[in-house]
């Protein structure tokens, strides 16, 4: 495992995996791999896995949901996965 990834997992860094819903399974695979390298499950965020906020209220838009996640989880590292069109 690269030293930078090892330091992030041991330091409790929260990261967010972003991308198209079309490639959700790929991001879930990356999350599983990160967990096996030492990340805590709660420290690897995939937006689609967060269904409702703490008050059990649906989000008005993707922007609102993203804002809520950033405010409440405070991720420090973002990794984006998109494909060419």
Query: Residue 52: pLDDT band by 50, 70, 90 thresholds?
Result: low
pLDDT at 23: 87
Q: What is the pLDDT of residues 3-41, one digit of tens each?
A: 666 667 667 889 999 988 888 999 999 999 999 988 999
Domain ranges of the chain: 20-79
C-alpha–C-alpha distance, residues 37 and 48, integer Å: 22
Query: Residue 84: pLDDT band by 50, 70, 90 thresholds?
Result: low
pTM for the full model?
0.78
Q: Which residues pair with 45 in a beta bridge?
A: 16
pLDDT at 61: 84
3-state SS of the chain is CCHHHHHHHHCCCCEEEEECHHHHHHHHHHHHHHHHCCCCHHHEEEHHHCCCCCCCCCCCCHHHHHHHHHHHHCCCEEEEECCCC
């Amino acid at each position: 495992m690269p030293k930078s990834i090892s330091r992030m997992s041991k330091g409790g860094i929260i990261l967010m995996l972003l991308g198209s819903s079309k490639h959700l399974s790929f991001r879930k695979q990356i999350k599983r791999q990160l967990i096996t390298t030492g990340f805590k499950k709660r420290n690897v965020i995939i937006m689609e896995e967060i269904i409702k906020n703490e008050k059990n209220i649906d989000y008005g838009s993707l922007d609102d949901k993203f804002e809520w996640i950033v405010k409440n989880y405070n991720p420090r590292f973002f990794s984006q996965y998109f494909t060419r069109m």
